[in-house]
């Protein structure tokens, strides 16, 4: 595919999304119908679509509209390209620009250039203060890629050599033990020998730092209560011996966990919802609760446009319910760990404060925030000791 044909494909995917298809669904359907598209073509089209989703308001302003064609016109302008050389109508390129399209659009206004819904920007200002502008700006760009080294299997130099043989460049992050920043060929990670054999796992650096901050004593019984794919319990289990459990309200999310744990050289027992109480109490219960994901919107950019105040309120109610249930699973003197990948205070500090008010005697031992940056996603951690 030519570069212009890739732009036309992105237009079609964005238009399909306007018809209520999710980004991944629209990209998959396009790829199935485009047998001629190679892996580099598919990656390029995906990059176009996700770049537009990160910058939807500014692309709409620059392109003069919300259609896939207008958004991609705005994207080309935003990237400093010449639309006349892309919108040529030649081959599979987009049709030439009309006179109206040539004159439409202009530099985004300050509120458009932030690329956040207005109601969310007010939350960012209130919760992040002087850091709000930097956080919004970071969400307009692609997220960095990080790996977590598994110390049970090989040394970091050995792993770096394995990655290099597969054409992947990475460098250790001195501030986070075991974290590796992928600097080249991140798309090859899933096929790399080091990944397939469990020497590394894909995990954001902030998430790794948060798990490293959890004080897990050797031999502890630990439950990851909202496990999802299980990345966080695997990070905890990589540190030393313990008894590890995972639970999720949607057990199918954990279907790959047994294989991942086996590759990593650890045992994680998956608990069905009706089996959790019987396995309690636990020394540590980790609650990585469902949240807005506002700290990770570089990776899932359509989520920042889909979130509504009502949806955020519902998520906060779910978070409160999870904390209330999970606290009963912690042994006396044990630890409740609350984490989100959100930067919003109502999902973080406000939830912990409400829990403390409802449960006198619990002692908060640690609270940490990680900003959205080139060193990781936005993340929040609080640890509470049961009386």
Mapped onto helix, strand or coil, the DSSP state of residue 227 is: coil
- SS3 (DSSP) at 368: strand
The crossing angle, in degrees rounded to 10, of helices 56-63 and 68-78 is 90
What is this structure's pTM? 0.94
pLDDT at 206: 97
Evaluate whether 112 touches 57 at the Cβ level (below 8 Å).
yes
Residues 6+ apart with CB under 8 A from 113: 57, 58, 61
CA distances (Å), 187 to each of 10, 169, 374, in order? Answer: 19, 11, 18
State CA 108 to chain mean position distance.
Answer: 27
Residue holding tokens 């609080």?
382
In whole angstroms, what is the distance from residue 110 CA to residue 255 CA? 45
User: 């892309």: which residue's tokens?
Assistant: 86
Is 341 an active-site residue?
Answer: yes
**Alpha helices (runs of H) in 252-308, residue ranges in sequence order:** 257-264, 276-279, 302-306
CA separation, residue 58 to residues 47, 121, 140, 248, 301 (Å):
17, 15, 10, 38, 14
Residue 236 burial (CB count, 10 A): 22
Tens digit of pLDDT at every position of the chain (387 positions): 999 999 999 999 999 998 778 999 999 999 998 888 898 999 999 999 999 999 999 999 999 999 999 999 999 999 999 999 999 999 899 999 999 999 999 999 999 999 999 999 999 999 999 999 999 999 999 999 999 999 988 999 999 999 999 999 999 999 999 999 999 999 999 999 999 999 999 999 999 999 999 999 999 999 999 999 999 999 999 988 899 999 999 999 999 999 999 988 999 999 999 999 999 999 999 999 999 999 999 999 999 999 999 999 999 999 999 999 999 999 999 999 999 999 999 999 999 999 999 999 999 999 999 999 999 999 999 999 999
Cα–Cα separations (whole angstroms), residue 244 to 216, 230, 235, 271, 339:
11, 11, 11, 10, 18
Contact 242, 216 (CB under 8 A): yes
Domains in the chain: ranges and CATH: 3-113 (no CATH), 145-203 (3.30.70.1170), 212-385 (3.40.50.150)
Quote the tokens at residue 300: 């899932």
Residue 151 buriedness (CB in 10 A; 0-12 / 13-18 / 19+): middle
What local confidence, expressed as pLDDT, does residue 321 receive?
98
The pLDDT score that the predictor gives to residue 36 is 86
What is the structure's pLDDT at 21? Answer: 85
Per-position DSSP letters for 187-203, written without gaps between them = GGGGGSHHHHTTSEEE-
CA distances from 10 to 26, 303, 327, 330 (A): 10, 19, 47, 49
At 240 the pLDDT is: 81
Give the span between the Cα atoms of 364 and 347, in whole angstroms: 16
Rounded-to-integer distance, Cα 152 and Cα 236, Å: 12
| Catalytic choice (59, 291, 316, 341) | 341
How far apart CA 187 and CA 81 sit, in angstroms, is 25
125: left (phi over 0), alpha (psi -120 to 50) or beta: alpha
What's the CA gap between 276 and 225, in Å, rounded?
A: 9
pLDDT at 357: 97
Distance CA(153)–CA(141), nearest Å, equals 34
């Amino acid at each position: 595919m030519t570069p212009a044909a890739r732009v036309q494909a992105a237009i079609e995917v964005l238009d399909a999304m306007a018809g209520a298809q999710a980004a991944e669904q629209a990209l998959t359907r396009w790829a199935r119908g485009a047998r001629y598209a190679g892996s580099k073509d598919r990656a390029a089209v995906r990059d176009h679509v996700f770049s537009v989703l990160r910058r939807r308001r500014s692309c709409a302003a620059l392109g003069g509209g919300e259609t896939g064609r207008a958004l991609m016109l705005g994207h080309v302008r935003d990237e400093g390209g010449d639309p006349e050389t892309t919108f040529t109508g030649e081959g599979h390129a987009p049709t030439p620009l009309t006179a109206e399209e040539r004159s439409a659009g202009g530099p985004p206004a300050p509120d458009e250039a932030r690329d956040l819904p207005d109601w969310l920007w007010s939350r960012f200002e209130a919760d992040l203060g002087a850091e709000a502008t930097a956080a919004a700006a970071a969400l307009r760009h692609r997220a960095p890629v990080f790996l977590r080294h598994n110390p049970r299997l090989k040394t970091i130099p050995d792993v770096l050599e394995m990655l290099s043989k597969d054409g992947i460049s990475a460098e250790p992050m001195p501030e986070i033990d075991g974290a590796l920043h992928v600097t080249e060929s991140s798309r090859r990670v899933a096929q790399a020998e080091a990944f397939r054999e469990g020497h590394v796992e894909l995990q954001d650096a902030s998430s790794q730092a948060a798990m490293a901050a959890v004080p897990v004593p050797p031999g502890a019984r630990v439950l990851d209560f909202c496990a999802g794919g299980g990345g966080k319990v695997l990070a905890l289990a990589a540190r030393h011996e313990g008894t590890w459990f995972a639970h999720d309200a949607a057990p199918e999310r954990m279907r790959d966990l047994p294989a991942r744990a086996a590759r990593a050289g650890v045992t994680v027992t998956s608990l069905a919802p009706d089996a959790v109480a019987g396995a309690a109490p636990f020394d540590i219960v980790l609650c990585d609760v469902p949240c807005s994901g506002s700290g990770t919107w570089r990776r899932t950019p359509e989520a920042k446009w889909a979130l509504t105040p009502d949806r955020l309120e519902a998520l906060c109610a779910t978070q409160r319910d999870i904390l209330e249930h999970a606290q009963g699973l912690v042994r006396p003197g044990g630890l409740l760990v609350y984490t989100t990948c959100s930067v919003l205070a109502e999902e973080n500090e406000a939830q912990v404060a409400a829990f403390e008010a409802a449960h006198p005697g619990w002692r908060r031992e640690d609270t940490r925030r990680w900003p959205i940056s080139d060193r990781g996603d936005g993340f929040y951690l609080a640890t509470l000791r049961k009386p």
